[in-house]
Amino acid sequence: MINNIKDLKRKNTFDTNIHSIFYLSKYTIPHLKSGSTIINCTLINHYINRTNLLDYTLLKKAIVAFTQRLSNQ
């Protein structure tokens, strides 16, 4: 449940899963050649409805959305 997610745990999970991909992409893209590929990996867990993985599922879906939008740039 959302009330069971501690702020520090949520922040650490977000920092690890989102900020790392964001900054790695931000600082890598200027050095890539035209037509290069970036691959971000995630697990199938974000497709499975598990209430005990609410914060984790949110972040994995964010990675998928970020990667899809990034591919349009």
Active-site annotation holds for 23 = no
Out of 23, 27, 47, 56, the active site residue is: 56
The answer to whether the beta carbons of residues 64 and 47 sit under 8 Å apart is no
In angstroms, the Cα distances linking 57 to 12, 27, 32, 33, 36 are: 14, 26, 30, 32, 28
List residues with catalytic annotation. 56
